[in-house]
Amino acid sequence: MEKSKVFFLFFVLGLFIFLALYGFTAENLLASILIVQIMYLMLKKVQ
């Protein structure tokens, strides 16, 4: 459980860096939300 929390925090940090580099546009925000949802589903399957 703790390992997945740390992984998720790193992932969110990575998304913020991605958005900072490519700009906080609506398209990038939607893409990042989709990626977070996919990652969340994958983490739930692993556990």
SS3 state of residue 29? helix
pLDDT at 26: 82
pTM of the model: 0.49
Contacts of residue 40, Cβ cutoff 8 Å, sequence gap at least 6: 8
Write the pLDDT tens digit of every residue in 15-27. Answer: 788 878 877 788 8
pLDDT at 1: 58
Q: Which residues of 22-41 are buried (b: 16+ CB within 10 A; e: fewer)?
A: eeeeeeeeeebeeeeeebee
pLDDT at 17: 84
End-to-end C-alpha distance for the chain, whole angstroms = 8
pLDDT at 44: 84
Within the chain, which residues score under 50 in pLDDT?
Answer: none
Structural contact between residues 43 and 11, judged by C-beta atoms closer than 8 angstroms: no
